[in-house]
């Protein structure tokens, strides 16, 4: 269900795919993130998705005027996972709220793997 904003001039509808793209690009700016993870064909295994398919690792849910974002990520080995997750949450929340004017209720981080960055 797309996000919808209304004011005295009319209404704006923002597709969840747009919100997922903003969330994915915002997360990719954060230090310690190798990339987004997408569930592969094999049960329970995740694969790193290419930059042009970032939204495969992002799920966005809209409810009234609030947004919930689920991010499936792969972090860089040697980084503190809690700090990386906190930075991603803050960045995603800030960017979505600034770009849409809507409130981000939650950003859930699912760490699907750890990789050595080349």
Domain holding 47: CATH number? 3.30.70.1350
Measured CA to CA in angstroms, residue 116 lies from 31, 33, 45, 68, 71 at distances of 13, 11, 18, 30, 20
Report the predicted TM-score, pTM, of the whole model to 2 decimal places. 0.85
Q: How many domains in the chain?
A: 1
CA 41 to chain centre: 22
Residues of the chain with pLDDT under 70: 1, 39-46, 52, 117-118
The residue range of the domain holding 33 is 3-115
Query: Which pLDDT score is estimated for 6?
Result: 76
């Amino acid at each position: 269900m797309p996000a919808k904003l209304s004011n005295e001039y009319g209404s704006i509808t923002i597709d969840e795919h747009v919100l997922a793209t903003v969330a994915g690009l915002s997360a990719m700016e954060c230090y310690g993130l190798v990339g987004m993870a997408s569930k592969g064909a094999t049960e329970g295994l995740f694969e790193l998705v290419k930059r042009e398919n970032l939204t495969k690792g992002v799920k966005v849910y809209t409810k009234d005027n609030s947004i919930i974002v689920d991010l499936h990520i792969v972090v860089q080995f040697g980084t503190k996972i809690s700090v990386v997750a906190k930075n991603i949450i803050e960045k995603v929340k800030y960017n979505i709220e600034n770009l849409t004017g809507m409130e981000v209720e939650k950003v859930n981080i699912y760490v699907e793997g750890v990789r050595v960055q080349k």
